[in-house]
Chains A and B, each alone.
Chain A
Amino acid sequence: MENQNRRTVLKGMAVTGASIAAPSFFVRNAWAADFRNDPSKSKTAKFGFTVPLSGAYADEGADEVRALELAVKHLNGEGDGGMLKTFKPSVLKGNGVLGKKIEYVTGDTQTKSDMARSVAKRMVEKDGVIMWTGGSSSGEAVAMSALAQEIGVIFMCGLTHSNDTTGKDKRRYAFRHFFNAYMSGKALGPVLAKEYGKERKAYHLTADYTWGWTQEESMKNSTEALGWKTTAAVRTPLGAGDFSQYITPVLNSGADVLILNHYGKDMINSLTQAVQFGLRDKMVNGKKFEIVVPLFSELMAQGAGDAIKGILGTSNWDWQLPDAATKAFVKSFGAAYGQPPSQAAQTCYVQALLYANACEMAGTFYPPEVIKQLEGFKFDGLGNGPTEYRAADHQCMKDVLVVRGKQKPTNKFDLLEVVQVVPRSAVEYDPKIFGGELGPYTV
């Protein structure tokens, strides 16, 4: 009896299976269409924005949300279109993506990797997002890239600067538009040697997580290659707040340069405190003491106030660049929010557009096809000049800006000046040097 039952059930299943499968023999890509959160049956497609709205990088997160909301508006054909007008080659029409109106959900990652992962997971499982973007720390980015690969939903990284994101922790389902620590080191080194000379002793204060470590390593490598010596490299906990106990040892360490591998609030606090401790007025080894902040942005410059003036660093993008794309984006962002966008905002905005465009090119939301369109994609008109999404590691290759805190700002947003646009060729590297595997297309 039992046997008979099982047989009947199996037969039934076979028939059902065959009947479901049958039509798909005649439809192209029909198997491929079976993927997580497929929006093809719905009138809308949903994006997820995982951004830190609290914690050390909360300012960047808030600006990312502004940019992403603007990107959704532009993709849906609202507003003035921003960089949709300058982006080339683009098949975006301003009618949503593949005819689907874009909706979005936002979640606070609290600048914590575990929180970022669980927020993203919830967005995929509960809210049904087809892609998510955002994040302002490499800890978050690495955690979310791994998740993206596990659950087969594309993650377009927001602001993340660690070499690991597209190095040892790179994933097929994760893409980074932002530049990285290695490129910062390569771009900044020669400028430092030119401005401060080749005989310098550097003291590093480093945020104690993946980004800080790779930033410290890249800066050490590039400065030591120029003849600098490294006096000490001290790790500080993320979000330490009071850095005085780490800054006082610098005073009599014999170092004449302080390199702050900090970002966001950490950098604002450590730089302000370093200046309070009189580091910038000091003379050591017969040279003027200098502070270097390898990665900085307008938002941090705003927070740090006068302390940032004259300090050298690198940036992915700046709102005062003269190209038409930047102008269009700044105009559109400024009209909406009354302030220019930060580099965090720009990278997220660009990522949303790049993803949408890849879907249009692929003619489907099916992730493996979208990934293939993004890999090796060459484009221009998004504010960074000619750019390529390198297929081997999903890292965008483009020019890097060396910037300096402006001495005499003409208005409250005029905080950084571009010292040099370092061409792509000077910062390019072999993707193999950081190891790591992208992983498979289908999961």
Chain B
Amino acid sequence: MDSIVLQLLNGLDKGGAYALIALGLTLIFGTLGVVNFAHGALFMLGAFCAVSFQKLLTLSTKVKDESVTFFESYTDVPYLQMWFGDTGMKIIDYAVPLSILFTIPVMLLIGVSLERGLIRHFYRRPHADQILVTFGLAIVLQEIVKSYFGANPIPQAAPAAFAGSANVGELLGLGDSVVYPWWRLIYFAFSAAVVAIVFAFLRYTTFGMVVRAGMRDRETVGLLGINIQRRFTIVFGMAVVVAGIAGAMYTPILPPDYHMGMDFLVLSFVVVVVGGMGSLPGAVAAGFLLGILQSFASMNEIKGIIPGIDQIIIYLIAVVILLVRPRGLMGRKGVMED
């Protein structure tokens, strides 16, 4: 029982990341009809926004370290610490959650300029062209990050207050053996909140209503005198922001490197396909579902029966679901079927 609860929790935080990326992918596909292979790279850019923000906060001056005697050594003392003392250290401690404030405008800017500068030229081109250009874009973004930050993962610490783990078992009455890191729980809550905000935005605002209408029938909305293109640009920006903050908040869980986006991209596409192309709730549901199944497949009891199942479970599930429901879990008729 304990291990089931633990793997469920494990699946939730992993699923959270899948769901957020898949949500952005589906938004872009549903509105602009573009298959965006650069989405993983945008997740990675978000993570590096957090890294940059951390660097910004810890801009330092060098002070000689007297305790090192065998050669000249210097310790970095952040300006924030020099100016504000403990308050400065506290701000640095909370660099990751604070980095969201930095990530949102940066990613929005990146998103809108990408759409205006590059992606819009590909709306009327075949899907194959779109895949090629966005994949190329992903490689370019990766190499830029690699040349600037290097190829190594850069560990980011969660705020000290959330560094330990929560005794989930006690809360659920399962005893002491079920503990789970705070930050991972926070990540799950965070992703659920972002999903809720995006859905509420699309459901309850006029802007959202127009976008939803545009997703259904772009032409009619255009005929009603609405500039649907401009709204779709904003939706693209929004999807990029979602991927970005998903990446930024994920950094304490997985130290970011330039390649992390690709690892998530492939899985997220499977998530989108399993959820049903163009279906937002499908993407979210499939994200969590696959995250949880992947975790369960890593249990020793299951690996004992089918060795290596943890590596292939996602693709296996995708095959099964596509055989049983060719349009995915919640896919609508007519999407990508022309």
| Chain A residues within 8 Å of B, Cβ to Cβ | 53-55, 58-59, 232, 234, 237, 241-242, 244-246, 248-249, 251-253, 265, 268-269, 272-273, 276-278, 282, 303, 305, 327, 330-331, 334-335, 338-340, 410-413
Nearest-neighbour CB distance to chain B for A263, whole angstroms, equals: 14
| 10 interchain pairs, CB-CB under 8 A | A54-B151, A59-B152, A248-B9, A248-B295, A249-B300, A252-B2, A305-B155, A334-B71, A334-B73, A412-B75
- CB neighbors of A among B280-296 (8 A): 294-295
Among candidates A55, A242, A278, A412, residue contacting B253 with C-beta atoms closer than 8 Å? A242
In contact, B155 and A272 (Cβ under 8 angstroms): yes
In contact, A277 and B75 (Cβ under 8 angstroms): no
Contact A277 to B165, CB < 8 A, known contacts A234-B300, A272-B155, A411-B68: yes
Given contacts A58-B152, A252-B3, 4 further A-B contacts (CB under 8 A): A58-B150, A232-B300, A248-B6, A265-B152
Interface string of B193-206 (1 = CB under 8 A from A): 00000000000000
Chain B residue with the shortest CB-CB distance to A284: B177
In contact, A244 and B152 (Cβ under 8 angstroms): no
Q: With the chains together, A283 CA to B180 CA distance in Å?
A: 16
Q: With the chains together, A338 CA to B64 CA distance in Å?
A: 12
- CB neighbors of A among B1-20 (8 A): 2-3, 6-7, 9-10, 13-14
Q: With the chains together, A340 CA to B254 CA distance in Å?
A: 28
Q: In this assembly, does B105 line the interface, its C-beta being within 8 Å of a C-beta of chain A?
A: no
Q: With the chains together, A334 CA to B74 CA distance in Å?
A: 12
Chain A residue with the shortest CB-CB distance to B304: A232
In contact, A411 and B65 (Cβ under 8 angstroms): yes
Determine the chain B residues whose CB is within 8 A of the CB of A412 once the complex forms: 65, 75
In contact, B294 and A245 (Cβ under 8 angstroms): yes
Q: In this assembly, does B148 line the interface, its C-beta being within 8 Å of a C-beta of chain A?
A: no
Determine the chain B residues whose CB is within 8 A of the CB of A246 once the complex forms: 298
In contact, A276 and B164 (Cβ under 8 angstroms): yes
Q: In this assembly, does B110 line the interface, its C-beta being within 8 Å of a C-beta of chain A?
A: no
The 6 closest A-B pairs by CB, nearest first: A334-B71, A54-B151, A245-B298, A276-B181, A248-B6, A278-B179
Q: How many A-B residue pairs have CB under 8 A?
A: 108
Determine the chain B residues whose CB is within 8 A of the CB of A55 once the complex forms: 151
- CB neighbors of A among B160-200 (8 A): 163-165, 176-181, 183-184
In contact, A330 and B70 (Cβ under 8 angstroms): yes
In contact, A58 and B151 (Cβ under 8 angstroms): yes
Q: In this assembly, does B115 line the interface, its C-beta being within 8 Å of a C-beta of chain A?
A: no
Contact A268 to B152, CB < 8 A, known contacts A234-B300, A248-B10: no
Determine the chain B residues whose CB is within 8 A of the CB of A249 once the complex forms: 3, 6, 298-300
Nearest-neighbour CB distance to chain A for B40, whole angstroms, equals: 14
Q: In this assembly, does B153 line the interface, its C-beta being within 8 Å of a C-beta of chain A?
A: yes
Contact A54 to B7, CB < 8 A, known contacts A232-B300, A251-B177: no
In contact, B163 and A276 (Cβ under 8 angstroms): yes
Q: With the chains together, A335 CA to B69 CA distance in Å?
A: 12
In contact, A244 and B72 (Cβ under 8 angstroms): no
Determine the chain B residues whose CB is within 8 A of the CB of A58 once the complex forms: 150-152
Q: With the chains together, A244 CA to B294 CA distance in Å?
A: 12
Q: In this assembly, does B208 line the interface, its C-beta being within 8 Å of a C-beta of chain A?
A: no
Determine the chain A residues whose CB is within 8 A of the CB of B294 once the complex forms: 245
Q: With the chains together, A413 CA to B68 CA distance in Å?
A: 8
Chain B residue with the shortest CB-CB distance to A330: B70
Q: In this assembly, does B61 line the interface, its C-beta being within 8 Å of a C-beta of chain A?
A: no
Determine the chain A residues whose CB is within 8 A of the CB of B263 once the complex forms: 241
Q: In this assembly, does B310 line the interface, its C-beta being within 8 Å of a C-beta of chain A?
A: yes
Q: In this assembly, does B33 line the interface, its C-beta being within 8 Å of a C-beta of chain A?
A: no
Q: With the chains together, A190 CA to B1 CA distance in Å?
A: 37
